[in-house]
């Protein structure tokens, strides 16, 4: 798989480089239209063979087969590249009963549920990336509440996430947890936001009051 992936990269780099060189050549008059016409004319008028009751140029047959091969390779390499991208969105390990894959989004949801339980964290967003060696790199963007020991709290957060992922996934590879504190809000700010939310809910109830015994028949 890795060999095909490298071949796909070299194939597209070579193809795009040839196209780029031809475009530059046309622009700087290094390549003339007459040169291309002479090459095509040579292909059409070279050695003739009989194919399907028709006389065609051998060069044209080779040219057509080369084009067909390029199309097949392009589709094959596209599938390889697509599969490679898909692999980066999951991690995999082998069980006695078969291979297991876990999406990185599922791991991000697990981290979100862990951070919700921590009162020191107001908001947390995670981004999980699988490394080439089979490990994980976790990046957290957090909004913390004030009046806390931030270094101690961050250290505890990293240990909790790392331990939980190792236990849940059974990973022996390295798990790196990076934390970025985007904002620190005060307890008063958090209380004001909760009060505003509660007031908004009360106003909604006043606008749409519930009717007692609604749904009961006479």
Q: What is the distance between the alpha carbons of residues 218 and 215, in angstroms, rounded to a whole number?
A: 10
Q: How confident is the prediction along the chain (218 residues), in pLDDT tens digits per residue? A: 566 666 767 777 887 888 888 888 878 877 777 777 777 777 666 656 565 656 666 667 777 787 788 787 777 777 666 665 555 677 777 778 888 888 888 889 999 998 888 888 888 999 888 877 778 889 999 998 877 888 888 999 999 999 998 888 877 778 889 999 998 887 655 455 554 565 566 556 555 554 444 444 44
User: Do 73 and 102 share a structural domain?
Assistant: no
**pTM score, whole prediction:** 0.49
User: Do 66 and 119 share a structural domain?
Assistant: no
- With both helix axes pointing from N to C terminus, report the angle between 58-87 and 33-45 in degrees, rounded to the nearest 10: 110
Q: 206 Cβ partners below 8 Å, 6+ apart?
A: none
Number of domains in the chain: 2
Q: What is the distance between the alpha carbons of residues 194 and 196, in angstroms, rounded to a whole number?
A: 5
Residue 156 lies in a domain: yes
Residue 111 and residue 121 in contact, taking contact as beta carbons nearer than 8 Å: no
Q: 187 Cβ partners below 8 Å, 6+ apart?
A: 145, 146, 147
Domain range for 43 is 2-87
Residue 13 lies in a domain: yes
User: Do 181 and 148 share a structural domain?
Assistant: yes
Residue 51 lies in a domain: yes
Last residue of a domain, one of 46, 67, 87: 87
Q: What is the distance between the alpha carbons of residues 100 and 117, in angstroms, rounded to a whole number?
A: 28
Q: What is the distance between the alpha carbons of residues 218 and 206, in angstroms, rounded to a whole number?
A: 27
Model confidence pLDDT, tens digit, residues 73-115? 777 777 666 665 555 677 777 778 888 888 888 889 999 998 8
């Amino acid at each position: 798989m890795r060999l095909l992936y490298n071949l796909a990269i070299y194939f597209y780099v070579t193809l795009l480089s040839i196209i780029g060189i031809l475009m530059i050549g046309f622009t700087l008059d290094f390549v003339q239209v007459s040169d291309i016409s002479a090459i095509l004319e040579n292909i059409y008028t070279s050695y003739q063979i009989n194919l399907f009751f028709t006389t065609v140029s051998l060069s044209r047959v080779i040219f057509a087969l080369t084009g067909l091969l390029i199309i097949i390779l392009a589709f094959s390499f596209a599938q390889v590249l697509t599969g490679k991208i898909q692999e980066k969105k999951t991690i995999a390990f082998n069980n006695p009963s078969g291979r297991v894959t876990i999406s990185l989004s599922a791991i991000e949801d697990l981290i979100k549920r862990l951070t919700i339980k921590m009162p020191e964290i107001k908001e947390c967003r995670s981004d999980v990336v699988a490394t080439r060696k089979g490990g994980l790199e976790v990046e957290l963007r957090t909004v913390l509440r004030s009046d806390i020991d931030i270094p101690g709290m961050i250290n505890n957060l990293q240990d909790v996430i790392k331990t939980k992922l190792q236990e849940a996934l059974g990973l022996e590879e390295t798990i790196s947890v990076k934390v970025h504190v985007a904002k620190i809000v005060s307890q008063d700010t958090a209380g004001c936001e909760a009060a505003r939310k509660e007031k908004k809910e009360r106003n909604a109830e006043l606008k749409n009051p519930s009717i007692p015994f609604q749904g009961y028949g006479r």
